[in-house]
């Protein structure tokens, strides 16, 4: 993949190594500190007997009805993290804690078997409802908390509970005030009450079965990335191929033949590259369009800007960047409301 070229040489040397031979151990990895932070949050929240085991796996996840947390293996080695960052953008500190709290919500649900109770079903819905990647959602609905981008709480009742738990656990969420007049407050109050009730109660399902562990991953690092994203990349390339980028981008930025003396310019693709991560993050957060598609759109726009040699006027670069961001948002929404199916990355 061309994206691998952006990673340091010491990271690219790992591409041919089987993942299980990387020697990754969670307790000796950079992500171990975040697990300790999660456990400290659980302790501060009064959950004295709930410490879900964590392990390195192929993705973020909590196997259904198993109170354990899988963490992506690339967070276990800074070199592999460089590869992930080149291909998909690595999670930052805030995002790691967001996902850990979310997965802890699943684990809490399973450890105390809340999903088997009538009250849980009345609040969140049927646990056995089919799980859909291309889930419908209502943007800005106050029936659900907001935590993971893409209105993720609306994906499934199990995700709704995990998101509610994550917001409850985060001391910076100030959920009592933020959700004071929302229907979602009832769900948060439920979590708060249940947590108090089980404060001194060991979970009936304390031990769980892991899914894929890092020691079982026989494919090489390169095979993992090729196999995990090839199909989506093909879909995204087909989606983007018919866009009229040349005309649209020329309306936003300046053709190099029209430069004038005394005016400052910079390559438009450099301007986009400077803000690439923020654009991807925010468009994904507010539209719900899957992140891989937004990233592919931004990459396609950046490449075409470079090929056309379009220029940003330095004194107007801020307004041009705003216009470009709105344009990318509009492209994303076109795919969202069109007939093409969109698949969200599974976090559960």
Q: Are residues 257 and 195 in the same domain?
A: no
The percent of residues above 90 in pLDDT, for the chain, comes to 75
So what's the pLDDT on residue 21? 96
* Residue count of the chain: 348
Tens of pLDDT, residues 270-290: 999 999 999 999 999 898 888
* Residues 321-339 pLDDT 10s: 999 999 999 998 887 766 4
Pairwise CA distance, residues 286 & 280, whole Å: 10
Per the rule left: phi > 0, alpha: psi between -120 and 50, beta: everything else, 174 is left
Residue 127 within a domain? yes
Q: Are residues 209 and 246 in the same domain?
A: no
Within a domain: residue 97? yes
- The secondary structure of residue 289, as a DSSP letter, is -
Looking at the 3D structure of the chain, how many domains does it have?
A: 2
Same domain for 190 and 315: no
- Token pair recorded at residue 47: 């959950």
Q: Which of 215, 233, 250 is where one domain is finished?
A: 215
Same domain, 148 and 284: no
Residues 206 and 305 in one domain: no
Give me the residue label for tokens 């709105």: 326
Which residue, of 198, 215, 232, is where some domain finishes?
Answer: 215
In a domain, 237, yes or no: no
Low-confidence ranges of the chain (pLDDT < 50): 229-231, 339-348
Do 251 and 300 lie in one domain? The reply is: yes
Assess if residue 342 is contained within a domain: no
What single-letter DSSP state applies at residue 316? G
- SS3 of 54, please? strand
Residue 223 lies in a domain: no
Statement to judge: residues 298 and 200 lie in one domain: no
pLDDT of the residue at 231: 45
**Residues 246, 209 within the same domain:** no
3-state class (DSSP) for residue 56 = strand
264 exposed, middle or buried (CB, 10 Å; 0-12, 13-18, 19+)? Answer: exposed
Do both 204 and 279 map to the same domain?
no
Same domain, 203 and 259: no
For residue 232, tell me if it sits in a domain: no
pLDDT > 70 in the chain, percent = 92
| Cβ(158)–Cβ(348) below 8 Å | yes
Q: Are 111 and 103 in contact (CB under 8 A)?
A: no
Task: Identify the domain boundary among 196, 215, 234.
Answer: 215
**Enclosing domain of residue 276:** 242-337
120 is a domain residue? yes
Say whether both 9 and 85 belong to one domain: yes
Number of Cα atoms under 13 Å in the Cβ half of residue 101: 25
Residue 141 inside a domain? The answer is: yes
- 176 and 40 share one domain: yes
Kindly report the pTM of this predicted structure. Answer: 0.85
* Strand-pair category, 54-57 with 69-72: parallel
> Each residue of 4-53: pLDDT tens digit?
888 889 999 999 999 999 999 999 999 999 999 999 999 999 999 999 99
pLDDT of residue 237: 66
Place of tokens 């947390």: 69
């Amino acid at each position: 993949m061309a994206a691998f070229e952006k990673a340091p040489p010491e990271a690219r040397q790992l591409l041919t190594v089987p993942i299980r031979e990387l020697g990754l151990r969670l307790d000796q990895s950079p992500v171990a500190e975040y697990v300790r932070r999660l456990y400290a949050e659980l302790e501060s929240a009064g959950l004295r007997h709930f410490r879900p085991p964590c392990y390195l796996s192929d993705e973020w996840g909590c196997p259904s009805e198993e109170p354990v947390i899988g963490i992506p293996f690339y967070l276990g080695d800074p070199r592999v993290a460089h590869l992930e960052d080149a291909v998909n953008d690595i999670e930052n500190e805030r995002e790691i804690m967001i996902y850990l709290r979310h997965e802890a919500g699943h684990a809490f649900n399973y450890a105390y078997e809340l999903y088997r109770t009538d009250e849980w079903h009345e609040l969140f819905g049927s646990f056995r409802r089919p799980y859909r990647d291309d889930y419908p959602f209502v943007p800005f609905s106050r029936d659900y908390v907001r935590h993971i981008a893409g209105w993720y709480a609306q994906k499934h009742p199990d995700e709704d509970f995990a998101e509610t738990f994550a917001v409850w656990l985060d001391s910076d969420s100030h959920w009592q005030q933020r959700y004071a007049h929302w229907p979602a407050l009832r769900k948060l109050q439920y979590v708060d009450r249940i947590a108090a009730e089980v404060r001194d109660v060991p979970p009936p399902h304390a031990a769980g079965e892991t899914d894929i562990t890092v020691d079982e991953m026989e494919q090489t690092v390169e095979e993992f990335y090729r196999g995990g994203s090839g199909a989506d990349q093909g879909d995204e390339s087909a989606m983007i191929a018919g866009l009229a980028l040349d005309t649209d981008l020329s309306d936003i930025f300046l053709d190099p033949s029209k430069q004038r003396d005394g005016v400052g310019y910079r390559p438009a693709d450099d301007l986009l590259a400077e803000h690439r991560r923020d654009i991807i993050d925010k468009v994904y957060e507010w539209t719900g369009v899957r992140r891989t598609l937004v990233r592919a759109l931004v990459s396609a726009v950046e490449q075409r800007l470079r090929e056309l040699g379009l220029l940003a006027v330095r004194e107007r670069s801020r307004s041009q960047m705003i216009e470009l961001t709105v344009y990318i948002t509009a492209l994303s929404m076109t795919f969202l409301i069109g007939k093409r199916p969109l698949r969200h990355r599974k976090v559960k």
